[in-house]
Structure formats: C-alpha cells, structure tokens
Amino acid sequence: MMLKNKEKICGLAAGLAVAVTFASGSGVLDLPRAEAVYNSESDTDATILDYVENSKRTARENALNEDQKQLLLDAYEMKENLREPLDPTKNVPVAVEGDELFYDENTGDFVVQGNVVMTSLDKRRFITEHADGNLASQDVQVDDKAYMLQLTDAQARIILNGYKTQYNWGKETGKMENAEGKIDHQYVKAKRIEFYPDKVVLYNASATKCSAKNPDYHMTAKKIEYYPGIQTISYGVSYWLGSIPVYSVPKQVSKEGDKGPYMPKASYDNDKGFAIKDTHYFPVMDNVNAYYDWILAQKTKFTSHGGLIYTTKGIGTFKLQSGFFEDSDAKWIHKAPNFRWDYSLRIGKAPFTYIFAYERGAWTQNDRCSMHTYYKAGISIDPIRLGTWRVYPSISYDITDESYNESRVKGMGYDITALKEFDDRWVTYLGYHYSESNSQNSVFDFDLDSYSKKITAGFSYTFSPKDRIVVGWAFDGMTNKLMDTDYYWYHNIHCAELIVRYREKRDQYRITLQFTPW
C-alpha cells in the first residue's frame, strides 16, 4: 500500500471406552480437544522429516503480508528520525499523514482526510479516508471504514477491517464494529471488537484457522476474551463443519498450548477401507486429562482406547489406559488395563537428558495373553553439528518381561540419526538403530521390527509451495537386505493436508486427509 507523505505531526478417567464430558460446579463445560499434527507413520525414519511439514504450516501462519512489512519499516524509520531520546513516561509518538490536515495547536484537535495513515512508534497503524481526534489525549475516531494493523511487542498480531473505530494510543484501548480480519493465527469476524493492553474481546464472533472465504470449519461465540500467550475464554460456543452445526457448549476455557478442538482425520487404505479417526482430550483438573482415541473403519469396524494422563513438572507423565492400540504396521493389541510412566531430566547445563520409562499391563494379541512389564533407562544427547549435518544420538538399556512364557528380553539399544538440509527444498537423512527386542524373540508382534539392526535413509523434496514428496528406505543391518520402501506425497489444501503413502514392499497404500490444527 502506497502512503502519501503530505503532512506529519508526531505527537493488543482411566480406561475410557465411551466419550465422557466433565462439568464443574460453576457450569463450565470444557470441550474435548484433539491432536492434528502431520505425521508419517513410518518404519523408515521418515517421521524425522515431519518437522518440514509442520514448520511450513507454522511459517504460513506467521508470515507477514506486505502491509505488515511496510509498517515495520515505517516504525523503524520513525524511531531513527526522533529528534530526541524517547521518554518512556510520555505517550508514544504518533505520525498522522493525509492529503488534507487541520490541526489546532492550542487544543490538540485534528481532522485529516484523503489517504489517511496514522502510525505509532510501537507498531500500530490505522488507514482510512477520514479521521478526527486529539493528539494531546491521543484519541482518534474513524466513523467510516478503517484498516487496522498491530505488531506491537507482547500483544496480539492484528489485521482488521471495520467501522466506527475509536482508539486511544496512550491507554491502548479502543473498539471497532462490524470487523473482519485476523488476530494472531485466527481468522475472525465480529459485531464488535474491544481492544485492551492485555486482551482482545470479540462479541457475536466467529473464528477459524481456515483461510477460505467460506471456511470448511469454524467456531462461533457470543463473546470471546483472548489473552495473548495465556488463554482464551469463550461464551455461548458452537462448532461448525461448513454450515452444519456439530455441537455447542455454554463456556470454553482454552489455555495457550492446549490441543485444539475436535477435528477428525479421514483416510482410505487397502487394509481398513474408508476410516475416520481422532483423539479427544477432556480436562479433569489441573495437569490431569482424560482422553479417548477412536477409529471407525469400513473393514475393521469400531475400535478405541482411552484413559487418564497425569502430567507433572518434576516426576514425569503417568498414563492409565485401556482398549485397542494400533502400531504403524496396522497390527493391533489389547491392553486392559495398562499403566505407563515416562520421565526425562536435563542434566544441568550439560548436553545430556536422562530418560526413564516403566510400563505394566495385561496385553492380549491373537490367542496370547500376558502380563507385560517394560523398563527403560537411557541418555539422549543434544544434536551434534558435524559440518552441515545435524546428528541425533541416544543410548538406552531395555528390559521386557512376559508372564505368558516367563521370558525376559534385555539389552542395550542404540539410535543415531543424521539430518542435512541442502536448501529450502532438499532435506536428507541417514539412521542406524539397534534393539535387542524384535518380533522374532518377543511374545507380541507390536511396534517392533523383525530384525534388530536397522539402517535407514531417505529424502524430502518440496517441488511447489503446496507440494512435497518423501522417500524412505529401511535395511536389515545384518543381511543388508532392503526391508521397506515408503513413498509420500503431501499436498496442502488451504484448510487441510492431503497425505498419500505407498509402502512398496508390502503393497500397502493410504490416503489421509488431516485438517489444519485449530
């Protein structure tokens, strides 16, 4: 957007088998939350490249448009041209530009019209055709349409178009009616939006991460209180797929970093046929969540598992689970019940992290039933730079006991993966893995390779802004035999990700549609 510089004045539950809802005495109903990250589900280490897709999504969400880039440049220029050092006790400097400007030096009142641009040093801007206000009180009013930009540090990133705008630069408060645009990562519409230093409040609003003119999914609420970097509190909430209402709740509290609301994954493969899958999280109390994972498939029908997850700050994560679990090779096992503890601890400022795990539960697969017990102790080492390669090493000692045949499998485990990014398009990796446990010496064939020494290799190539391919290989380190070859094609569809996988050695294919995380 071109700015005219005519005149200047300086002056944001353990063992769940069915869906469960929890309500507090205050009537607050917490929504189930779901995971929606892109993953490869691979035995060839292709998962190490998942960060490429997720970082691309994050980059798209955080990308600045041309107007925002111009605002940063202009704010920097204002700072460089200040006549005297900035006094933090005084109001932030504001530049007012327009074709015609009327200013009363005695009262501070101003009227500006024609290509109006009002910019503050703390990176806020209003663009309109007519505005009036007072530079002494730092009030501004726009009765007609206004375009608002905000890139102020520690506040919400805002791009809005709206009407009847009022704003006070000094108090950082204001309002806008019939507004539409983007606040941080959410595309929003609202009857009225109010601005405060610590929050943004939207009334009769809708929000979505879908950038389409008619979004595939969105949330509506009578009122949304958004505290950047902390939490969002919404009242009178409804969720929609297109124009179809899915469910409603009276109140939703979402902490920063919480998993987004229900968004299922749809897929088709030659094992299950058509399938829908999702994982829901239900807050129970601080640091405790119930979860429910389910899949409804054409050939395998309905399967699920669930439980409770207790996350602590000092002693790890505890899980109590029950139900049917599937590994990346479409092999199933039943756990009822199953307890698992995972703990990791950084060793001071050293580049090492202790890793401990314990699992015990009644496992069933085919006709085999066993009390399964697993112990793990290991050390993970921070990535090591070797030239242009990043190397990720770890070492562990694992023990697996089974009551089915009174067996014990124990031994050292080694994992080392090297990653190299040639440029924005090409990424490659190499890996070596050793585990004493394999499907040949274990009671259960679940989440295990049929060999102990595995060598992997692969690459990712981005051939368009919306398309990427991945190829991964896995070799038996003892015989050098090629065991797996996986091919992936990722295609971005404004609100979703299409992932096509073909496993050549197994002649298995899967097509998955994953919605953009809420």
Residues 325 and 440 in one domain: yes
Q: What is the CATH number of the domain that holds 493?
A: 2.40.160
What are the tens digits of pLDDT across the range 77-107?
888 888 777 777 777 888 889 999 998 888 9
Write down the pLDDT at residue 240.
85
- Tell me how many domains the chain contains: 2
- For residues 486 and 355, state if they share a domain: yes
With a cut of 50, which residues of the chain have pLDDT below it? 1-36
Q: How far, in Å, CA of 343 to CA of 3, rounded?
A: 56
The reply to whether 74 and 162 lie within a common domain is yes
Region of 171 (left: φ > 0; alpha: ψ -120 to 50; beta: rest) is alpha
Check: CB of residue 457 under 8 Å from CB of residue 486. no
Give the pLDDT score at 469.
94
Residue numbers of the domain that contains 388: 46-63+264-515
The enclosing domain of 146 has a CATH number of 2.60.450.10
pTM for the full model?
0.73
Give me the phi and psi of 52, to 5 degrees please.
Answer: -65, -50
Burial class (CB in 10 A: 0-12, 13-18, 19+), 85: exposed
pLDDT, mean over the chain: 85
Closest Cα to residue 251, out of 263, 237, 239, 241?
A: 237
The answer to whether 379 and 354 have CB atoms below 8 angstroms apart is yes
Mark whether 274 and 400 lie in a shared domain.
yes
Indicate whether 225 belongs to any domain: yes
Whether 59 and 69 map to the same domain: the answer is no
**Residue 264 confidence (pLDDT):** 76
DSSP state letters, 295-331: EEETTTEEEEEEEEEEE-SSS-EEEEEEEEEE-TTS-
In this structure, the answer to whether residues 203 and 283 fall within a common structural domain is no
- What pLDDT is recorded for position 286? 81
Q: What is the pLDDT of residue 411?
A: 95
Regarding whether 70 and 57 lie in a shared domain, the answer is no
Look at residue 24 and tell me if it is in a domain. Answer: no
β-partners of residue 30 are: none
